[in-house]
Chains A and B, each alone.
Chain A
Amino acid sequence: MARRSLPVSTGDLTSASPPTEAEFQPLSRDRRSFLRKSVAMAGGALATGAAGISVAQAQALTVPETNKAMGRPIPANEYGMPSEFEAHVRRRRTDVLVNKQNFSDWSMTPLQHQHGIVTPNGVVFERHHAGVPDIDPAKHKLVIHGMVKKPLQYTMNDILRYPSVSRFHFLECSGNTLTDWVRNASTTVQQSHGLLSCAQWTGIPLSWLLDEAGLEEGAKWLLVEGADGSGHIRSIPIEKALDDALLVYGQNGEMLRPEQGYPLRALMPGWEGNTSVKWLRRIKVSDQPWHFRSETARYTDPLPGGKWRQFSMLMECKSVITRPSGGMNLPGPGLIEIQGFAWSGRGRITAVDVTLDGGRNWQEATLEEPVMDKCLTRFRLRWNWDGKPAKIASRAVDSTGYVQPTVQEIGAYRGLYPGFVQHHNGVFPWSVSANGEVKNAIA
């Protein structure tokens, strides 16, 4: 066992298994995973030594087997996969609000294991309304019609012929964190914030194709519709379509994954994920919105007095600490680098503050470059933990001056019930106990 390298994804923090039977492996059935965890614990102890609290005695080194043998040969062709030792880094369905079917459902990104700001394609979160269609790009068509001078049809080959543009943007579901407004429902940050990912998207500006079709006088809205079994559909204001909206086919250097809309999706930077309609087949221009079910019964926000806020598509400034986060155990007092993500649908992140005492006092964290418009931004703060109970949280500020609010501040303006309430961008605290356990402390 000693020859195995430490699981670098968790560093000096060990991450507890998410609390579901689905992923829980009895030790007798998976001894390797048990041993791996033991190694991780040992790694934690060593890291504490490195932090200068106490210097542990290292063991004498032996030559690892990997130095004494040839490795795996290069196959004729393959699609490379992560190390077998990273098998715990998985997208997973929610453990909190479990649907009785998994077609109109979602799976969440393991943010606690993400290094840097780009989410690997295999763990980008999913939200579908009728499962994932498998679409042959040779047969896929995009149509633009309605209030345009010239209705047009495009094949994927047509779209791929244009010069392309690539942009880094986050994508967040409007329902991200909705289980955790008023109770500590989620154990890990994957469960509480995992409907969030970030990628480099490649495609063409939507405005190019609208230019070609020619908007008629009075065109104010357009619809984007998917070729999936739900025919998912949203009304989009023409200003957004002409501003930064993209039609994308590329994601992190490769074609979109089927679950991300292959071969073509809309991308509305900074807006709730469901407006970035996947498997995009149709755009229709009009003078008014359509008020689809997805714009009244869903994706609306309850307000006091029986009203609902509609077309609330922008994702407001938000941040969360991903390390340490729920389910992790600190190895002991000493240096802990607090890491997290901040993002805003209104622009760039300009500052992130971190509290170590439950919101009484705050200090500014370091933002790591690149800091981009409507993109995940990495923040870091070095914390010398004294081993006493603490409550840590982050608070982001964006380029419009908007300051991330607390749940209490949001609750002053909106209804936080019935439990399916969207647009939770509240400050999210984690508690750290004297024995190093990190837990959800939102309520």
Chain B
Amino acid sequence: MRSLKLVTAVAAALALAACATQPTGTTSSLPAHPGVKYGKAMSDLDADAWNIDIRTSDGRGLPPGSGSVADGKRIYDQRCVACHGPDAKGGSVYGSMVGGFDTMKTDKRVLTPGSMYPYAPILFDYIRRAMPMDSPQSLKDNEVYALSAYILNLNGLVPANAVMDARSLAAVQMPNRNAFVVDDRPDTKAVRCMRDCIK
């Protein structure tokens, strides 16, 4: 028992020392690499079917293909309208996907792809990986481009004759492109008052 206690005390002291030098409170006490390697080498081609992420700030990873607003409306009315409603204004399950750009400085922020996507390729990345909810990853790339075009058109961000592809989608300027700031917490400055704290 004593040796166990001693070990615990030493571990606690080490943890304290780690905290003293690292104010973000890292554990950093994870064991070192055991020197064995069990991973199997592969080529990037082997991961092709899984490699669906888009770097949305510049569209890196967007595949070949294209789709028009008109095609997007046709696909939307078949695959999306049941949950999201006509013209993406909100339906049986989800709220509106249109507008809200001018609500950001108010207490009634309306969160839509138009207002909350700083980069248009987020539409492609998200629709392809997750939509429609009951059969994700079933849409072809051309269909995903078309749906992206349609949602952007409903938000007034591309014209009705627009065709989206890797280049044009990444070039769309989203209204809240510069609205996002990196985490700067801690922001609050609470103090540990113990007596007569309510003035």
Interface residues of A (CB under 8 A from B): 100-101, 103-104, 129-130, 143-145, 150-154, 158-159, 161-163, 165, 167, 205, 207-209, 211-213, 223, 225, 229-231, 233, 243-244, 246, 269-270, 281-282, 284, 286, 288, 290-293, 296-297, 300, 302-303, 305-314, 316, 344-348, 351, 353, 358-363, 373-374, 395, 397-400, 402-406, 409-410, 412-415, 417-418, 420
Q: Which residue of B lies closest to A270 (CB)?
A: B25
Q: Is the CB of B30 within 8 A of A374?
A: no
List the 7 closest A-B pairs by CB distance, nearest first. A347-B25, A152-B39, A231-B129, A297-B116, A306-B104, A405-B190, A405-B188
Interface residues on B, range: 35 or more
Interface of B is mostly: loop
Q: Is the CB of A359 within 8 A of B197?
A: yes
Enumerate chain B residues within 8 angstroms of A363, measured Cβ to Cβ.
194
Closest approach, in angstroms, between the C-beta of B13 and any C-beta of chain A?
A: 13
Closest approach, in angstroms, between the C-beta of A158 and any C-beta of chain B?
A: 4
Q: Which of B13-50 contact A (CB under 8 A)?
A: 15, 19, 23-28, 30-31, 33-34, 36-44, 46-47, 50
Enumerate chain A residues within 8 angstroms of B183, measured Cβ to Cβ.
309-314
CA distance A281 to B56 in the complex (A): 21
Enumerate chain A residues within 8 angstroms of B118, measured Cβ to Cβ.
291, 296
Q: Tell me if B160 counts as interface (CB < 8 A to partner A).
A: no
Q: Is the CB of A399 within 8 A of B25?
A: yes
5 sample A-B contacts, Cβ–Cβ < 8 Å, listed by A number: A104-B133, A145-B47, A152-B39, A158-B39, A409-B190
Q: Is the CB of B198 within 8 A of A358?
A: yes
Enumerate chain A residues within 8 angstroms of B4, measured Cβ to Cβ.
none
CA distance A165 to B53 in the complex (A): 30
Q: Is the CB of A362 within 8 A of B50?
A: no
- Over the window 112-144 of chain B, the binary record of Cβ atoms lying under 8 Å from chain A Cβ atoms (1 yes, 0 no) is 010011110010011001100100110000000
Q: Tell me if B171 counts as interface (CB < 8 A to partner A).
A: no
CA distance A143 to B43 in the complex (A): 11
Among B44, B119, B190, residue most surrounded by chain A Cβ atoms (within 10 Å)? B190
Enumerate chain B residues within 8 angstroms of A359, measured Cβ to Cβ.
197-198
Q: Is the CB of A397 within 8 A of B192?
A: yes
CA distance A415 to B107 in the complex (A): 7
Q: Of B36, B122, B190, which contacts A161 at CB under 8 A?
A: B36
Q: Is the CB of B190 within 8 A of A361?
A: no
Q: Is the CB of B179 within 8 A of A284?
A: no
Q: Tell me if B109 counts as interface (CB < 8 A to partner A).
A: yes
Closest approach, in angstroms, between the C-beta of B41 and any C-beta of chain A?
A: 6
Given contacts A297-B116, A362-B193, contact A292 B125 (CB under 8 A): yes
Enumerate chain B residues within 8 angstroms of A358, measured Cβ to Cβ.
198
Closest approach, in angstroms, between the C-beta of B44 and any C-beta of chain A?
A: 6
Q: Which residue of A lies closest to B125 (CB)?
A: A292
Q: Is the CB of B198 within 8 A of A296?
A: no
Enumerate chain B residues within 8 angstroms of A229, measured Cβ to Cβ.
130, 133, 136
- Over the window 141-154 of chain B, the binary record of Cβ atoms lying under 8 Å from chain A Cβ atoms (1 yes, 0 no) is 00000000000000
Q: Tell me if B1 counts as interface (CB < 8 A to partner A).
A: no
Q: Which of B86-119 contact A (CB under 8 A)?
A: 92-94, 104-105, 107-111, 113, 116-119
Q: Which residue of A lies closest to B195 (CB)?
A: A361
Given contacts A163-B31, A293-B122, A400-B25, contact A230 B39 (CB under 8 A): no
Enumerate chain B residues within 8 angstroms of A161, measured Cβ to Cβ.
36, 38
Q: Of B30, B116, B188, which contacts A409 at CB under 8 A?
A: B188
CA distance A225 to B194 in the complex (A): 45
Q: Is the CB of A230 within 8 A of B190?
A: no
Q: Is the CB of A344 within 8 A of B25?
A: yes
Enumerate chain A residues within 8 angstroms of B176, measured Cβ to Cβ.
306, 308
Closest approach, in angstroms, between the C-beta of B143 and any C-beta of chain A?
A: 17
Given contacts A310-B181, A418-B111, contact A154 B38 (CB under 8 A): yes
Enumerate chain B residues within 8 angstroms of A288, measured Cβ to Cβ.
55, 57
Enumerate chain B residues within 8 angstroms of A305, measured Cβ to Cβ.
105
Q: Is the CB of A291 within 8 A of B122?
A: yes
Q: Is the CB of B30 within 8 A of A154?
A: no
CA distance A417 to B109 in the complex (A): 7
Closest approach, in angstroms, between the C-beta of A153 and any C-beta of chain B?
A: 5
Q: Is the CB of A282 within 8 A of B50?
A: yes
Q: Is the CB of A410 within 8 A of B197?
A: no
